[in-house]
Amino acid sequence: MLTIEEVKTRLKNKYQSAVKKFEQPYGTRLYADIDKSKVREISNEIIGMGGRYLVSVGYDNIARDKTLGLIHAFSLDRDDIFVCLRTAAPVDNPTFDSITPDIPNAGWSEREYMDLLGMKFSGHPKPKRLILADDWPEGVYPLRKEVPWNLMPPPAENVAYQLDEAPEGCTTIPVGPFHPTLHEPAHFAVYVDGETIKGCDYRGFMVHRGLEKLCQTQLTYNEIPFVAERICGICGSVHATSYSQAVEMAAGFRISRRAEFIRTIMLEIERVHSHLLWLGVAGHLIGFDTIFMQAWRVREAIMWFGEKLTGNRKTYGMIVVGGVRRDISPELKDELLGILKTIEKELVTIHKAIVGDSSIHRRTKGVGRITTDETRLWSLVGPVARARGVDIDTRRDHPYAAYDEMRFDVPVVDSCDVWGTVVVRILETFEAIKIIRQALDTMPAGPTMTEFAEDIKPYQHAITAVEAPRGEVVHYLISGEENRPERWRVRAPTYPNLQGVPAMLLGDQFADLPIIIGSIDPCFSCTDRVVKVDIRSGRISNLTGGELETISRAKKLAGR
C-alpha cells in the first residue's frame, strides 16, 4: 500500500525540479504539475507503481497564459489514489511527448487532442484523424475557446478517411457504418483471410454530438446532469452521478447521506437492468433470440419500477448536483424488494438453463481471447477486464456514494474469453441485487437535496470515477466562471475497451465478430460524446451571451 505522501516523495526524489508543484485538495486525489519534457518518464513511473491509465484531458488555457494544458490521469487501484499529471505547452508550439508507445490506451486521447486542440504528439504510432469529420478544415480546432460552438464550416466533397492498408492476401469486409451488429453507427473495416480475421481498423465518432463544448459554453452546472444523462441511454445515472460528484468535489461540498444511498440504489438498479439487457443482446448476437426475449422479459419488471420511482423507464432524471430529485417511499421500498426477489429467482433459472448449454459454450468459449497481461497493457475496464483476471472495480477500489458501507464481492474469472464476460455479468447482477437490499435496509433518514451555500470557485480540478455496468466512467472537471465548467471531460468505459477490440478479434472467425464486439457491451454514443460537431448535419456553433442576443435580435445566425 502506497500513501499519497509516498507517491509524492518518490516523484520528488526521482525527478526533482521536473515536478513543480503538488496539489492535494481532497484526500485521495493528487495533482502534480510537471515539466512537459518528462511526461513520458513520469507516466511510466506511475505505471510502475501499479498505476492504471485512465484518460488524458486537454484544455485551452490560452486566455490566461497562452498555453494548452494536458493532463494524464492515472488510478492506483490498490491504494485508492488518483494521480493526475498536469503539464502545458505554449500555444505556438504545442508539442508533447506521446505516451502511446508505452501505454497504447492513450492513443485515442492523444489523437483526440490533435483533432480538437491542435496539439502535436511526437512519437505517436498512428497520428490519424479520430474525431473530426473527414471534410473538417485543417487548422480549425473546435475545442479552443476562440472557435464558436456553432461554427459551421462549408462541407467538402471527395474527402474520405483513409483506412489502413489491408494485410497481404486479405479481403476487406466493411462492418458499418450501419450494421445490425452495431446498433449504432461506427465503421469497422475487418481484414479477413477466408473467414479468419487478420486485422481491423476503426473509424467511429459518427454521432459526435459535441456535448462537452456545448456544456462548457452554453449550459450551467444544474442543467448539465440532464445532458450528461443523455450521453448514454443505458447508463444515464452513471454519467449524471459522476458529473454531479465532480461538481460537488470541485465545490468542496457534501450532499446528504440519504441522497448518497439513493444514488447507490439508482446505480445498482441500472446495473441490474443493463446486465439483463446485455445478456439478451448477447443471445441475439449468437442467433439465440429466445435468450434475448426471456432476459428482456425479466428486465421489464425493473424498468416499470424505474418509471414508478422516477417518472420514466430510462433517462431517469433523478440525479442532480446537490442530491437526488425524488425520494424512495416505504411503499416503493417494499415493491422494489418484491421485484428484486422475482428477478433473482428468474435469473437463477436463466443462469441454470444456460450455464451448462454446450451449444452456447461453443459460440463463446475460447472466443475473443486476450491474455491478462494484454488486458492490463490496454487498460481495459469493467466486466471485460474482470473476465480476464484483472481484479478492478471502482466501487471497491475508490468508494463513492454509499459504497463504503456496502458489502459485496467482485466476481473475477480468468477464462479470458467471451464466456467469462457472460459469467461475470450474471454474477454481478446477483451482487447488485445484494447491494440494493443492503442500501434499502440501512438507508438513513434525511433530506434528498442539499442546497449550495456559496459559489463554486473557478479553476478547481476534480476527477471522479463511477463503476458503470460496462466498466468505469471517468469524469474530469475544471470549474469555471459564469456558473459553468471551464472544461468537462467524459471518458465512457467503451472508450478504452473499444481500443482493445482489434486485439480480441485477431485470429478469430468472422462469424464471431458480433459477439466479440458485443462482449464489451459497446456504447458508441458514449464514446462519441466529446466536443462539438454534429457530423451528420455539419452544424457547430458558439456564441457569448451578448453576441447571441444581438444576433438573435437581428434574426440571423452565424453561418446560416
Partner 1 sequence: MDILYIAVNILVFLLLAPLFEGVIRKITARVQSRQGPPVIQPYYDLLKLLGKQNLSAGTVVFKFAPMLALASILGVIVFLPLGYQANYLTKYADVITIIYLLTLGGVSVLLGALSSRNTYAAIGSSREMITMIMVEPVLAMTFILGAVKVKSMGIAASISSVTAGGYGASVIVMMAAYLMALQAFVGRQPFDIAEAEVEILEGPFIEYSGPNYALFKYYLILKQMFYAALFVIVFIPPFKTGWYGADVLIQMAFVLVVFIGIALMGATHPRLRIDQAQKFYAVLIAASLAAVGLSVYGI
Partner 2 sequence: MWLTSKIKQVLLVLRPGVVTLKYPFEPHPVAKNFRGHPSWDHHKCVGCGGCAAHCPARTIMIRDVCQDLRVMLYDGSRCTYCGRCADVCPEDAITMTEQFELATNDRNDITVSMELFMLTCQRCGRCYNMETTNMIDKMGLRGFRYDNLEARAVIPTATEHFDEKMLEESDRYQRPQK
For helices 418-442 and 257-285, what crossing angle results, to 10°?
Answer: 150
**Residue pair 477/247 in contact by the 8 Å Cβ criterion:** yes
How far lies 553's CA from each of 148, 333, 548, in Å? 18, 51, 8
CB of 382 to partner 1, least distance (A): 23
Q: How many residues bind partner 1 (CB under 8 A)?
A: 30
CB of 133 to partner 2, least distance (A): 18
Q: Pick from 218, 242, 438, 525: which binds partner 2 (CB under 8 A)?
A: 218
Site string for partner 1, 186-225 (x = CB under 8 A): ---------x------------------------------
79 vs 77: CA distance, rounded Å: 5
Q: Does 179 bind partner 1 (CB under 8 A)?
A: yes
Which region, judged by CB under 8 A, interacts with partner 1, from 122-130, 173-181, 211-219, 306-314? 173-181
The string of DSSP codes covering 107-154 is: HHHHHHHHHHH--EEET-S-----SS-TTPPTT--TTSTTS-EE--PP
Q: Pick from 509, 534, 539, 559: which binds partner 1 (CB under 8 A)?
A: 509
Which amino acid is it at 473?
Answer: V
Q: Which is nearer to partner 1, 226 or 510 (CB)?
A: 510
Question: Is residue 122 packed enough to be buried (19+ CB in 10 Å), middle (13-18) or exposed (0-12)?
Answer: exposed
Q: Does 139 bind partner 1 (CB under 8 A)?
A: no
| H/E run at residue 279 | helix 257-285
Q: Pick from 24, 196, 442, 483: which binds partner 2 (CB under 8 A)?
A: 483
Q: Pick from 78, 230, 257, 365: which binds partner 2 (CB under 8 A)?
A: 230
For helices 4-15 and 39-48, what crossing angle results, to 10°?
Answer: 140
CB of 517 to partner 2, least distance (A): 26
Q: Does 307 bind partner 2 (CB under 8 A)?
A: yes
Say which DSSP state 27 is in.
T
Give the position of cell 459553468: 484
Report the site for partner 2 in 310-349 (rule: CB under 8 A).
Answer: 310-312, 315, 317, 321-322, 325-326, 349
Q: Does 289 bind partner 1 (CB under 8 A)?
A: yes
Alpha carbon 535 to its chain's center: 21
Question: Is residue 105 packed enough to be buried (19+ CB in 10 Å), middle (13-18) or exposed (0-12)?
Answer: buried
Query: For the chain, how many residues are written?
Result: 560
Site string for partner 2, 446-465 (x = CB under 8 A): ---x-xxxxx----------
Q: Which is nearer to partner 1, 93 or 359 (CB)?
A: 359
Site string for partner 2, 247-266 (x = CB under 8 A): --------------------
Q: How many residues bind partner 2 (CB under 8 A)?
A: 53
Q: Which is nearer to partner 1, 90 or 174 (CB)?
A: 174
**Residue pair 506/198 in contact by the 8 Å Cβ criterion:** yes
Helices and strands per DSSP (H, E), number in the chain: 19, 17
Site string for partner 2, 35-54 (x = CB under 8 A): --------------------
376 vs 503: CA distance, rounded Å: 13
Is the sign of the CA dihedral 221, 227, 232, 238 positive or negative?
positive
CB of 271 to partner 1, least distance (A): 24
CB of 296 to partner 1, least distance (A): 9
Q: Pick from 28, 44, 222, 509: which binds partner 2 (CB under 8 A)?
A: 222
The string of DSSP codes covering 306-347 is: HHHHHSSSSS---EETTEESS---HHHHHHHHHHHHHHHHHH
The site for partner 2 (CB under 8 A) is made up of 150, 218-220, 222-224, 226-227, 230, 290, 294, 297, 300, 304, 307-312, 315, 317, 321-322, 325-326, 349-350, 352-359, 449, 451-455, 482-483, 541, 545-546, 548-549, 552, 555, 557
The site for partner 1 (CB under 8 A) is made up of 171, 173-174, 179-181, 195, 283-294, 297, 359-360, 362-363, 509-514
